Amino acid sequence: MKKLSLKDVAQHVGVSTALVSYVLNGQAVEKQVNKDTAERIMAAIEELNYTPNQIAKSLKMRTTNTIGLVVADINYRFSTGITRAIESESKKRNYTVIYGSSNEDENKFSELIDVFVNRRVDGLILIPSENSQDQIRALQKSEIPFVLIDRIFPNIKTNYISLDNFKASYKATEYLIKLGHKRIAFINYKTTMFHLQERTRGFREALSDHKLTIAETLLPEILSANLAKDIQQAIDNVLHLQEPCDAIFFATDTLTIHGLKYLNKLKIKVPGDISVLSFDGSDAFELFYCPITHSKQPLEEMGKLAVNTLLDLVNHSKINMQISLDADIVIGNSCGESV
């Protein structure tokens, strides 16, 4: 099928191509385009399904020194930390960041992208929600520069800055093994998200490499919709097995927070009765009676690399950037030696 042009839209509305261009470039008021005419042009663009590729070409005629950032959930510590890092680096480069939270909703994720494109951002930094592959593929067909951060889709080749989640999880699991733990529970979400699946894979491989049995009963999966209830059930299950766990590795800080709350309710002491390790830290850990050992993601470095990679793309550099960073383990007092 022939791609639509500005001329096609103009003919459909019965106006000049110049008027269509003015509306697309946000110059309707400046060029004194009649409000009704501008609305008819926008309606025609939607009706004719004038694709983002053409819109992007029009947008690239002018820059706004603005970056659009979409995070998965602004309530996550990772989201707030990475937002601060991106804003800090963007300010150094004389760019402003506007951001929105998809709240882990693929439809809202798509809507936010549309909003930012209509606001003529120069490029996008995205933390995708689950099942948002179609939106990423659509962006690839456009000429809008974008970079994925944290969450990636291995079957979609694009520019990204992420963590080596497999390696980080492997290293954290190995830390517990070296303390003498042999019955380690790993509590994760039931998900298709690659970064979380990689954490499970890292856990499994660490056990395998150290000749420890991988018991499926020690790998409960949590539904985010039933978070508190599922966490409680998962902990009850791993503690009441014939051979109960001697350590719990939580795959995210949110899971850790709920898990600690329930362990406290059960009057189970950390690390006296059980060791606890978290993938990622949280400010909420400061409210717990002992510092929590956790994997720490390099948020500042991730944010800096994401901004600089995006601005290289904005400046028409042909780059192919896939960066996986390492996490550190922050040693607290929540993991004791197994006896």
Report how far residue 244's alpha carbon sits from residue 290's, in angstroms, rounded to the nearest whole number.
23
Angle between helices 77-92 and 299-314 (to 10 degrees): 50
For the chain, the straight-line distance linking the first and the last C-alpha, in angstroms and rounded, comes to: 70
Listed residue (162, 157, 143) closest to 313, CA to CA: 143
User: What residue ranges define each of the domains in the chain, with the CATH number in brackets?
Assistant: 6-60 (1.10.260.40), 64-163+299-326 (3.40.50.2300), 165-297 (3.40.50.2300)
Band (pLDDT 50/70/90 cuts) for residue 87 is: very high
Q: Note the pLDDT tens digit of each residue in 123-141.
A: 999 999 999 999 999 898 8
Residue 112 confidence (pLDDT): 93
What torsion do the CA atoms of 88, 318, 66, 140 make, to the nearest 10 degrees?
-110
- Has residue 185 got a pLDDT over 90? yes
Q: Determine what percent of the chain is predicted with pLDDT higher than 70.
A: 94
Residue 329 confidence (pLDDT): 97
Report how far residue 38's alpha carbon sits from residue 35's, in angstroms, rounded to the nearest whole number.
5
Listed residue (48, 51, 56) closest to 117, CA to CA: 56
Q: What is the CA radius of gyration of the chain?
A: 24
Band (pLDDT 50/70/90 cuts) for residue 46 is: confident
Q: What backbone phi and psi angles, to 5 degrees, belong to 153?
A: -120, 110
Residue 41 confidence (pLDDT): 85
Question: Which alpha helices (DSSP H) does the chain contain, by range?
Answer: 6-13, 17-24, 35-47, 52-59, 77-92, 106-118, 133-141, 165-178, 194-209, 227-239, 253-265, 299-314
Band (pLDDT 50/70/90 cuts) for residue 318 is: confident
Q: Determine what percent of the chain is predicted with pLDDT higher than 90.
A: 69
Q: Note the pLDDT tens digit of each residue in 62-75.
A: 678 999 999 998 88
Identify the top-confidence range among 29-43, 162-176, 216-230: 162-176
With beta carbons less than 8 A apart as the criterion, state whether 332 and 178 touch.
Answer: no
- In degrees, rounded to 5, the angle at the alpha carbon of residue 27 between the alpha carbons of residues 313 and 48 is 80
Residue 301 confidence (pLDDT): 97
Reading the block at residue 278, the tokens are 């978290």
Burial of 159 (0-12, 13-18, 19+ CB in 10 A): buried
- Has residue 45 got a pLDDT over 70? yes
Report how far residue 208's alpha carbon sits from residue 241's, in angstroms, rounded to the nearest whole number.
21
